[in-house]
Amino acid sequence: MTKKVVEVAVGVIKRDEHIFITKRDESQHQGGLWEFPGGKIEAGESVTEALTRELKEEVNIDVHSSQSLLDIEHDYGDKCVKLFIHIVDDFSGEATGLEGQASQWVAINDLNNWAFPAANVAIIDALQKQ
């Protein structure tokens, strides 16, 4: 049986060499780990549309533009995801966890000190090589 692949728009929100991260609720898949905010791409949505919608809903920012960083497919065993990762450094508003989730601005070089889902390791590597 083939697993369904969940497509997710992910925003790496960047300001002054710092990245905004949020903590996943314990009840979610990969709960308790830190992540780059974003969410599922709905039917008929582009990556950019999903990213803009999700970042407004989750962290209260208005995305003006973003640039693709990389795409990642990852199989967690119980779930497969395809992440479309975009750098978001052109936005307005003050990023904050609107859904009660913990949030933090973290220096790019310090991202390895935070516990992320396995699929996010390649994102951190790409950011630190820039």
Contact between 104 and 91 (Cβ < 8 Å): no
Distance from C-alpha of 50 to C-alpha of 19, rounded to nearest angstrom: 20
Query: pLDDT tens across 22-32, in order?
Result: 998 877 767 78
Query: pLDDT tens across 87-126, in order?
Result: 999 999 999 999 889 999 999 999 999 999 888 999 999 9
| Beta strand 34-35 pairing with 38-40 | unpaired
Give the annotated binding-site residues. 24, 29, 35-38, 58, 120
Please state whether the predicted TM-score (pTM) of the whole model is above 0.95. Answer: no
Q: Which of 12-16, 39-43, 75-79 has the lowest mean pLDDT?
A: 75-79
Give, rounded to a whole angstrom, the gap between the first and last alpha carbons of the chain. Answer: 39
Give the annotated binding-site residues for Mg(2+). 38, 58
- Position 41 scores a pLDDT of 97
Write the CATH number of the domain with boundaries 5-129.
3.90.79.10
Distance from C-alpha of 49 to C-alpha of 39, rounded to nearest angstrom: 11
Query: pLDDT tens across 36-68, in order?
Result: 999 999 999 999 999 999 999 999 999 999 999
Domain map of the chain by residue range?
A: 5-129
Give the annotated binding-site residues for 8-oxo-dGTP. 24, 29, 35-38, 120
